[in-house]
Amino acid sequence: MNLRAICKVAVTVVSYFFMVLLVYAAVSKMRDFENFQVQLAQSPLLSAYSGFISYGVIALELVIAGVLAFPQVRRVGLYASFGLMVAFTVYIYLILNYSDFVPCSCGGILEKLGWREHLIFNGVCVVLALTTSVFMGKERAHGWSRIAAAALIAVFSAGSMVALFLSSEYIMKKENNFTRRFPHHPIIEEKSLDLKVNSYYFAGISGNTIYLGNSSTPFRIIRMDYSLQKSDTLDLVPATNHRFRSLIYTVQNGMLYAHDGAVPVIYSSPVDSLAKPLREISSKDIYFDQMAVVSPSQFLLRVKDAESERTSIGCITVGEPAAIRVHSTLLTTKADGGFDADGQLVYDKETGIPFYLFYYRNQILQFNKYGQLKGQMKTIDTVAEARLKVLTLPAGRKKLAEPPLLVNRNMTVHGGLIFNESGLMGRHESRTQWKKNAVVDIYKTSPAGYWGSMYVQHRGKHRLSRMLVTDTYFFVLSGDEMVRYRFAQTVTEQFIKRGSRKPFSE
């Protein structure tokens, strides 16, 4: 057999190989199309375009396989196979070297292969397609034109993949169309503890000690170490008497603070002196219903004007006399009883930045330590305005006429990462998973944008109710259980250490 015959056979064999490979890949994707779309949606590179890419890849694979079936245009099919395999190879290379995390599945031609094995397989396919399309055939005089054509195809395929990656990253982090990414095992459950009752909340952390308040027993607090093995109960006594509705505790940087939204009072005490009465540091200065501790003498407050029914952020510096600032920046402009402004005021002690996250709309506000608005970002859902129906009663009091659309359920912040339990299911997500898990979205504050999401499994009939984050652990209250998870390195390497970077891109 002469060289020309050998080349002709090689072209035929390679063409049939790609036909089988592409048809197999397309059929596999069609048979489990929903899972294929979900895998693309989890891709750190193509999340924003998972909708049309899921259809486009299947169509392209079938078209190329069809072209390869006809000898007259087989070389065109080999060029197209070469371009497609270059794109797949560049995609995997970008995943392994430039993405924030590596997904658990490639979602490609041979799903059982790992990412690096898939990269090698694709590289072999690129060489096969290049060799047969450029160097085999009887028109040897046109070899240089074939090499130029192959080079242009390679540049176009690789460039298109890089462009998709860059634009998808921008869309996911800045203009997300409500497509979530779920990094591979961002948290691993390590230990759980039965608290016997479901009325606990996280007061905070001091050193390696967790403090738990209890809304049913507001003059008692529990402290325990990270191992969840050693704990003790402390009875707290305010130094002054008021008609409390419920004292709420915050522990931060070695201090415990207490406040009650129904009484304009703030208490404080070092955590190593809780046997003594809690010292009153502010009384009758201002009414508020939420508080974030900026320093032992400075606090941000959520305040409400009873006449205008509008809510804003204020700042109080305790002393004689107390310095109070209530800023004109309103959390809402609607006189709807404050429902539109409902949300959570949280403070990142690592970066020194306070945030306000809304329950009923996709907005996060950032303030400075004096309560002045400095920036804002959005959660990835598309609900820009609260969907509320407010009923005004005869006495003028307002109430919700029906349950509102809950966009964000629960929030906390640590080290430049915002953890937000979402109330809405995103695109290409499994309803079955939503019934079994809470979904926590993670946002970076420097630069500001969406990073990824994680599932937190329900404990029986109980879902996540509170979250607490440290550099290493993710603590959860669910029903009467407290659960400790350990963060994967993909999450811990995103934390901003104290004073290392300026948080939140304005």
Domain stop point among 149, 174, 199: 174
479 and 423, same domain (yes or no) = yes
Asked if pLDDT for residue 501 goes beyond 50, the answer is no
pLDDT the model gives residue 400: 77
Q: In what order do the strands lie in the sheet with 353-358?
A: 343-348, 353-358, 364-367, 373-377
Residues 6+ apart with CB under 8 A from 128: 14, 17, 18
Co-location of 242 and 314 in the same domain: yes
Do 86 and 216 reside in the same domain of the chain? no
Residue 117: the pLDDT is 84
Domain count within the chain: 2
Task: Kindly report the number of other CB atoms within 10 A of residue 150's CB atom.
Answer: 20
Residue 203 sits in the same domain as residue 273: yes
Residue 498 lies in a domain: no
Q: Is residue 306 part of a domain?
A: yes
Name residue 390's beta-bridge partners. 400
Instruction: List the alpha helices (DSSP H) in 32-49.
Output: 33-42
Q: State how far the Cα of 232 lies from the Cα of 225, in Å rounded to an integer.
A: 10
User: For residue 309, is it within any domain?
Assistant: yes
Contact 426, 419 (CB under 8 A): no
Co-location of 470 and 395 in the same domain: yes
Edge-to-edge strand ranges of the sheet holding 408-414: 408-414, 417-422, 437-445, 448-457
Does the pLDDT at position 283 exceed 50? yes
Which secondary structure element, helix H or strand E, spans residue 57, and what is its range? Answer: helix 50-68
Q: How far apart are CA 415 and CA 496, in angstroms?
A: 5
pLDDT at 53: 83
Query: For the chain, what is the radius of gyration of the CA atoms?
Result: 29
Q: What is the pTM of this model?
A: 0.74
Summarised one tens digit per residue, pLDDT across range 57-78 is 899 999 999 999 988 888 889 9
* C-alpha to C-alpha distance for 417 and 446, rounded to whole angstroms: 9
Closest CA to 383 of 406, 402, 366: 406
DSSP-assigned letter for residue 277? P
Which of 258-267, 395-404, 490-499 has the least mean pLDDT? 395-404
Identify the pLDDT of residue 476.
97
Please check whether residues 200 and 101 belong to one and the same domain. no
471 occurs within a structural domain? yes
Q: Average pLDDT in the 259-281 region?
A: 92
- In this structure, are 92 and 191 located in the same domain? no
Model confidence pLDDT, tens digit, residues 332-362: 766 666 788 899 999 999 999 999 999 999 9
Question: Do 266 and 403 belong together in one domain?
Answer: yes
Picking from 134, 151, 174, the residue at the C-terminal end of a domain is 174
CA distance 180 to 85: 27
Q: Is residue 319 part of a domain?
A: yes
Same domain, 112 and 231: no
Same domain, residue pair 210 and 109? no
pLDDT per residue as tens digits for the range 170-187: 665 565 667 888 888 899
Residue 403 lies in a domain: yes
Q: Phi and psi (nearest 5°) for 267?
A: -115, 160
Residue with tokens 């430049």: 416
pLDDT at position 141 is 43
Q: Are residues 74 and 136 in the same domain?
A: yes
Q: Which residue has the tokens 């005869």?
A: 394
For residue 345, the cross-strand partners are 356
Residue 503 lies in a domain: no
Cα 80 to its chain centre, rounded Å, is: 37
pLDDT at residue 499 is higher than 60: no
Is pLDDT above 60 for 35? yes
| Tokens 């930045």 -> residue | 353
- 418-449 pLDDT, tens per residue? 999 999 988 778 788 888 999 999 999 988 88
Q: How far apart are CA 381 and CA 357, in angstroms?
A: 13
Q: Write phi, then psi, for 455 (nearest 5 degrees).
A: -90, 135
Measured distance CA(368)–CA(118) in Å, rounded: 48
Same domain, 165 and 195: no
User: Which of 109, 139, 174 lies at the terminal end of a domain, its last residue?
Assistant: 174
Residues 304-319: pLDDT tens digits?
A: 876 666 788 999 999 8
504, part of any domain: no
Q: What is the per-residue pLDDT for 333?
A: 61
> What's the pLDDT at 169?
66
Distance CA 366, CA 497 (A): 19
Residue 493: exposure state from Cβ atoms within 10 A (0-12, 13-18, ≥19): exposed
Residue linked to tokens 């201090």? 255
Question: If pLDDT is split at 50, 70 and 90, which confidence band does 504 have?
Answer: very low
Q: Helices 74-98 and 143-174: crossing angle, nearest 10°?
A: 40
pLDDT band at residue 391, thresholds of 50, 70 and 90? confident
Domain extent for 358: 187-492
Pick the residue with more confidence: 110 or 235?
A: 235
Q: What is the CATH number of the domain that holds 229?
A: 2.120.10.30
CA 133 – CA 223 distance, rounded (Å) = 70
